[in-house]
Amino acid sequence: MDFLLQPLNLVIFFPLLGVLALLFLKERESLARWVSLITALITFGISLWVLGLFDAANPDLQLTVVRDWIQVAGWNIRYAVGVDGLSILLVLLTTFLTPIAILSTWRAVEDRVRDFQLFFLLLEVGMLGVFLAQELFLFYIFWEFTLVPMYFLIGIWGGPKRMYAAIKFFLYTMAGSILMLLAILWLGINQGSFYLPDLIAIGGIPADIQYWLFIAFAAAFAIKVPMWPLHSWLPDAHVQAPTAGSVILAGVLLKMGTYGFLRFNLQLFPQTSVQLAPVMGVLAVIGIIYGAIVSYPQSDVKKLVAYSSISHLGFVVLGLFALNQQGISGAILQMVNHGISTGALFLIVGFIYERRHTREMDEFGGLWKVMPVYAVLTLIVALSSMGLPGLNGFVGEFTILLGAWGGGVANGPYGSYLFAGLAAVGVILAAVYMLFMFQKLFLGPVTNKKNEGLKDLSARELAILIPLLVLIFWIGLYPQPFFALIGPAVAKLTASFSGIAYLPIP
Amino acid sequence: MEFFNSADLLHALPLIFLMSWATILLLVAAFARAASERIMPALAAAGLLLTGYFAARQFGNPASAFNGMFAADGFSAFITLLLVLSGLLAIALSSDYLKRMSLNRPEYYVLMLFSITGMMLMASAADLIVVFLALELLSIPLYVLAAFAQPEPRSEEAGLKYFLLGAFASGFLLFGIALVYGATATTSLTGIFIAAQSGLEQPLYLLIGAALILVGLAFKVAAVPFHMWTPDVYEGSPTSVTAFMAAGAKIGGFAALIRIFIVALPSISEQIVPVLWALTALTLIGGNLLAIAQNNVKRMLAYSSISHAGFLLMALVVYGQDAARFDVVASALFYLLAFIITSSGSWGVVIALEKQAGKGLEFSDYAGLGRTQPVLALAMAVFMLSFTGVPPTLGFAGKFYLFRAVLEGEYVGLAILGMLASLISAYYYLRLIVVMYMQTGNPKIHSERWLNLTTVGAAIGVVVLFFASEPLFDLAALALLHVN
């Protein structure tokens, strides 16, 4: 009992209580929504309590729980969770977005309500586990486990091509993670531990092997992010997923990939991280430009938002592999920003889809006249997504660009004007496709008669969007509290790169 | 020279007991026909439980009996326990199914017990002659069981096909034994090891003999390219027999493979490992690719069982490395355990949906199961995920330990191949989940007490035992081979 009452265990496993309660409900019962929402809200509350216990000045893992779990044949597999500046915001993002996503299913999910909520809460357990696990075996279990509920969410409640999308999502992600599993096994055999702090302390992996291990881990994470050219599962999964699924998929699941880079690749393989930083930078920049260019001609709004995610997460990867304070801090903040902005965009698309059952841009036009509140809120979110100063996206992207430029840290060849310059082009392109979309949907006369009678946002829909808007402004105007949470841990991480000389790739 | 003494009998107690029990049951079946139809499953299960009890007592005091022809050690004890488990599961799956399909003849259970004694003997055989005897004792009742649904033509075909090809494989095995004897002048596994160590006049004979033995046993465990019989036999046999065959025959075959190769043939590992490697690769890739193309769940599971033989063979590839040998045995046994539970459970679902005359076995017959039968569908989904190796299931733990053994042996290429195979397998396992949950339909199922209990119990076991995999693996690690 004492074990379960540890703050971090409580936050990970509390949603299971909701799952348990749901099991006793009948199918189709609308009470299921309330059970699920309340569970998610309490989980959010617990995560705020964790935040209260969290000491921002301490760069190390905190609130750790380490227990022996499986001892077989000389292996000690532990249960180990902990939180530090690298993960605290992502934990909060997860617990924050989950109740919002659940609230958005009130009208959207009418079929098998109980099962939907059940999978949703299971998904939350998996995601929180991923962000908090400090032990590779445990991490892998949570990582793979998130696949299962998401697979069902897409496959059962998704759009017309849901089965294809669900299987594609599963197979793509699994392809990456099995390589990671091999690398994890290698570490367990040769380094004698799965516990991350131990592994970091032991270090000393030969450079040529580090290189392969880095690639094996990166395969799993790059597919999840997704980085160009491993992104092709993403549009299918997003377009077919139900709105709440998309929100969590874009808001949290993709962050598991970038977080994986941050937590494992950078910390376990510092030498290779330095060497491959330019390669990752190139892939990130290609992703930024590619995602933006492909977003532009999409006629399906949801697809547009999906492709824009590729572009935004390119920024995050670029920031991470700048390997300096600004780059990594910006990347972490941008993970949160993207979760908020893109989550909001998917919700917005969901609202109009619930009304019209289409997402084709040509069906709309002049919505501002019909739904003014909706239009204004969409505009704010769109501006935030394209990085307008004063809103959250700007802070993250600007810090990342600073990092990519290499400003402030004399760290050899990581900083590159070229990367920063090309990435900045991505910002301009983001403005192009976002404004283009906004214009098509909202401006001009009402061209389609079907749109004339549309109702503006309901109180529930406002309640969903307003918390997100508050954060959009908060981070945009006063990001200091967020950076304060991230800073010390990032400083500790970047210090580990300072002694490493850049060598050509073996 | 005395042939045996009372201590020998004690060492072989589980085997002797089950054999006698089966013989008594045969008499019961003959003389109390009407009553035996009802009580036979219970009697057979009781016999198995007692056998398991006797075997469990043998852990920890390895011994060899009958002039070194019979080994009673942790390995044989663990295998016996696995066999007891798979036998019990098979009985639970059979009892109602046989009644429903009007196949309820008491000989069914007797044959099953005889076959299990053969499998047990496979694990204890410390002499190639005994291996051959065990193989025949294992196989002949299975041939009959495969044809048990006669006059159903497909079942008869399955029995005949299995018999003909099985006889052929036995021939290979015997010829291999003869060659090994020719090279080493002994059939005792330890004797072969010593002879090979001290230098042979005709080392090539040993090599060819070992390869032929491998062929004979690869046939039993359905490794590609010796798998051709599997889909037809699995599909034609009554499903409860298939469930038993998929688990039991595999255990027996692998028990013999592991003991023969590790005890007798470590000296030729350098030459034989490439062969094993190729066999493994073919089995992994072939089994999985062929499974993708299936539209019949029974056939899909047959090919999936082939692919799992491939995973088990992965462990055998490492057998020649002293450092990894310990983990090889333990991880193979653990994988077998995971496979038995998952496989028996999934066959249980198949049995629940099967209708008369081989109907109700297509993928499309499973459409909508997630809605109409949530418990059964969830169980099947758990089994499919466990086959794929997704945590938190026993199948994942099995793969984890197995891949660990392979990496310890530094076969990175093989490990990557195995991972790719898992990925391919995910496609067809997921397809069944897709059909169950994401397509609409109204499947009718047979809800029978023991069947439901087995399926649900296996599903719970697959998840719960994952979290308790440590004691199980420890038990498997106790299953050391006794080399006298």
pLDDT tens-digit profile of B258-284? 989 988 888 888 888 899 999 999 999
CB spacing of A144 vs B391 below 8 angstroms: yes
Beta strands B63-65; A75-83: pairing state: unpaired
- A156 to chain B: which residues are within 8 Å by CB? 370, 437-438
CA angle B390, B394, B395 (to 5 degrees): 55
Can you read off the two tokens belonging to residue B435?
């059909």
d(CA A268, CA A179): 16
ipTM at complex level: 0.83
Instruction: Say whether residue B326 is in contact with chain A using an 8 A CB cutoff.
Output: yes
Q: Are B317 and B277 in contact (CB under 8 A)?
A: yes
CB spacing of B438 vs A166 below 8 angstroms: yes
Please tell me the predicted confidence (pLDDT) of residue B20.
Answer: 94
Give B364's DSSP letter: G
CB spacing of B419 vs A182 below 8 angstroms: yes
- B390 to chain A: which residues are within 8 Å by CB? 144-145, 147-148, 174
Buried b / exposed e across A271-288, counting CB within 10 Å, b at 16+? Answer: bbbbbbbbebbbbbbbbb
| pTM attached to this predicted model | 0.88
d(CA B291, CA B304): 6
- A19 to chain B: which residues are within 8 Å by CB? none
3-state helix, strand, coil in chain B (%, to 5): 80, 0, 20
**Other CB atoms within 10 Å distance of the CB of residue B355:** 15
Phi-psi region of A112 (alpha: psi -120 to 50; beta: other; left: phi over 0): left
Of A73, A171, A174, the CB nearest to B477: A73
Phi-psi region of A383 (alpha: psi -120 to 50; beta: other; left: phi over 0): alpha
d(CA A131, CA A175): 21
- Residue A506 pLDDT more than 80? no
Q: How far is A260 from chain B (nearest CA, A)?
A: 18
Helices (H) and strands (E) in chain B, counts: 20, 2
Nearest CA in chain B to A28: B371
Nearest Cα to A115, choosing from A13, A10, A302, A242?
Answer: A242
Q: Which of the residues B400, B403, B420 would you substitute to probe the A interface, choosing the one with the greatest number of A C-beta atoms within 10 Å?
A: B400
pLDDT tens-digit profile of B291-325? 988 889 999 999 999 999 999 999 888 887 776 67
The SS3 of residue A276 is helix
d(CA A198, CA A80): 12
The residue-averaged pLDDT of A434-456 equals: 83
Q: Which of the residues B288, B434, B436, B439 would you substitute to probe the A interface, choosing the one with the greatest number of A C-beta atoms within 10 Å?
A: B434
pLDDT band at A71 (very low <50, low <70, confident <90, very high): confident
Write phi, then psi, for B320 (nearest 5 degrees). -75, -10
Please tell me the predicted confidence (pLDDT) of residue A415.
Answer: 54
Alpha helices (runs of H) in A321-415, residue ranges in sequence order = 325-356, 367-370, 372-386, 392-405
CB spacing of A141 vs B437 below 8 angstroms: no
- B385 to chain A: which residues are within 8 Å by CB? 148
Burial class (CB in 10 A: 0-12, 13-18, 19+), B7: exposed
Q: Which of the residues B314, B337, B423, B474 would you substitute to probe the A interface, choosing the one with the greatest number of A C-beta atoms within 10 Å?
A: B423
The residue-averaged pLDDT of A73-92 equals: 87
Nearest CA in chain B to A176: B423
Q: Are A419 and A379 in contact (CB under 8 A)?
A: no
Write phi, then psi, for A65 (nearest 5 degrees). -125, 120
User: Which residue type is seen at B452?
Assistant: N
Write phi, then psi, for A192 (nearest 5 degrees). 75, 15
Beta bridge mates, B280: none
Q: Could you tell me which residues of chain A have a Cβ less than 8 Å from any Cβ in chain B? A: 69-73, 75, 112, 140-141, 144-145, 147-148, 151-152, 155-156, 162-163, 166-167, 170-171, 174-175, 178-179, 181-182, 185-186, 188-189
d(CA A488, CA A277): 22
Query: Which of A242-251, A330-339, B4-13 tops mean pLDDT?
Result: A330-339
Nearest CA in chain A to B330: A73
Burial class (CB in 10 A: 0-12, 13-18, 19+), B70: buried
- Torsional sign, CA B7, B11, B15, B21: positive
Nearest CA in chain A to B473: A72
Burial class (CB in 10 A: 0-12, 13-18, 19+), A87: buried
3-state helix, strand, coil in chain A (%, to 5): 75, 5, 20
Alpha helices (runs of H) in B71-127, residue ranges in sequence order = 74-100, 107-124
Q: Are B184 and B194 in contact (CB under 8 A)?
A: no
Instruction: Say whether residue B17 is in contact with chain A using an 8 A CB cutoff.
Output: no
Buried b / exposed e across B120-154, counting CB within 10 Å, b at 16+? Answer: bbbbbbbbbebbbbbbbbbbbbbbbbbbbbeebee
Lowest mean pLDDT among B58-62, B313-317, B443-447: B58-62
Please tell me the predicted confidence (pLDDT) of residue A91.
Answer: 93
d(CA A208, CA B42): 61
Q: Are B332 and B308 in contact (CB under 8 A)?
A: no
Q: Which of the residues A178, A184, A233 would you substitute to probe the B interface, choosing the one with the greatest number of B C-beta atoms within 10 Å?
A: A178
- Residue B346 pLDDT more than 90? yes
Write phi, then psi, for B34 (nearest 5 degrees). -65, -45
Chain A and chain B share a number of CB contacts under 8 A equal to: 89
The SS3 of residue B70 is strand
Write phi, then psi, for B125 (nearest 5 degrees). -65, 120
The residue-averaged pLDDT of A479-484 equals: 89
| Residue B221, H or E segment | none
Lowest mean pLDDT among A45-49, A269-273, B86-90: A269-273
- B404 to chain A: which residues are within 8 Å by CB? 75, 185, 188-189
Mean residue pLDDT of chain B comes to 88
Nearest CA in chain A to B431: A167
d(CA A317, CA A303): 22
What part of B 46-105 touches A (C-beta under 8 Å)? none
Nearest CA in chain B to A152: B437
User: Which residue type is seen at B449?
Assistant: R
| Residue A229 CB contacts under 8 Å (≥ 6 apart), including other chains | none
CB spacing of A156 vs B370 below 8 angstroms: yes
Of A152, A178, A185, the CB nearest to B422: A178
Can you read off the two tokens belonging to residue A76?
């000690």
Nearest CA in chain A to B438: A156
d(CA B321, CA A92): 49
Please tell me the predicted confidence (pLDDT) of residue B483.
Answer: 55
Write phi, then psi, for A230 (nearest 5 degrees). -105, 30
CB spacing of A151 vs B430 below 8 angstroms: yes
The residue-averaged pLDDT of B43-62 equals: 88
Can you read off the two tokens belonging to residue A421?
């310059």
Please tell me the predicted confidence (pLDDT) of residue A497.
Answer: 78
Instruction: Say whether residue B330 is in contact with chain A using an 8 A CB cutoff.
Output: yes
Please tell me the predicted confidence (pLDDT) of residue B96.
Answer: 87
| Residue B64 CB contacts under 8 Å (≥ 6 apart), including other chains | B11, B70, B71, B72, B126, B482, B484
What part of B 131-160 touches A (C-beta under 8 Å)? none
Q: How far is B403 from chain A (nearest CA, A)?
A: 8
d(CA A171, CA A162): 14
CB spacing of A148 vs B385 below 8 angstroms: yes
Q: How far is B246 from chain A (nearest CA, A)?
A: 26
Give A78's DSSP letter: E
d(CA B183, CA B177): 10
Cis ω for the linkage preceding A226 (within 30 of 0): yes
Of A73, A144, A179, the CB nearest to B327: A73
- Residue A409 pLDDT more than 50? no
Write phi, then psi, for B178 (nearest 5 degrees). -60, -45
CA angle B462, B465, B466 (to 5 degrees): 85
User: Which residue type is seen at B170?
Assistant: S
- B370 to chain A: which residues are within 8 Å by CB? 156
- Residue B158 pLDDT more than 50? yes
Of A70, A175, A188, the CB nearest to B470: A70
User: Which residue type is seen at A305?
Assistant: V
- Residue A197 pLDDT more than 90? no
d(CA A383, CA A378): 8
Give Cα B428 to chain centroid, integer Å.
Answer: 22
Lowest mean pLDDT among A90-99, A184-193, B55-64, B239-248: B55-64
The SS3 of residue A75 is strand
d(CA B62, CA B77): 10
pLDDT band at A505 (very low <50, low <70, confident <90, very high): low
Please tell me the predicted confidence (pLDDT) of residue B380.
Answer: 92
The residue-averaged pLDDT of B120-136 equals: 92
CB spacing of B431 vs A167 below 8 angstroms: yes
Of A75, A162, A174, the CB nearest to B438: A162
Q: How far is A162 from chain B (nearest CA, A)?
A: 8
Nearest CA in chain B to A142: B391
CB spacing of B403 vs A181 below 8 angstroms: yes
Please tell me the predicted confidence (pLDDT) of residue A410.
Answer: 40
The residue-averaged pLDDT of B199-207 equals: 85
pLDDT tens-digit profile of A280-297? 888 888 999 998 999 888
- Residue B134 pLDDT more than 80? yes
| Residue B105 CB contacts under 8 Å (≥ 6 apart), including other chains | B37, B98, B148
Instruction: Say whether residue B460 is in contact with chain A using an 8 A CB cutoff.
Output: no
Nearest Cα to A337, choosing from A245, A460, A250, A249?
Answer: A250
Q: How many C-alpha atoms does A497 have within 13 Å on its Cβ side? A: 29
Can you read off the two tokens belonging to residue A320?
């991470």
The residue-averaged pLDDT of A327-352 equals: 90
| Residue B391, H or E segment | none
Q: Are B445 and B436 in contact (CB under 8 A)?
A: no
d(CA B427, CA A175): 11
Q: Are B342 and B434 in contact (CB under 8 A)?
A: no
Of A69, A171, A182, the CB nearest to B423: A171
- For chain A, give the percent of residues with pLDDT over 90: 23
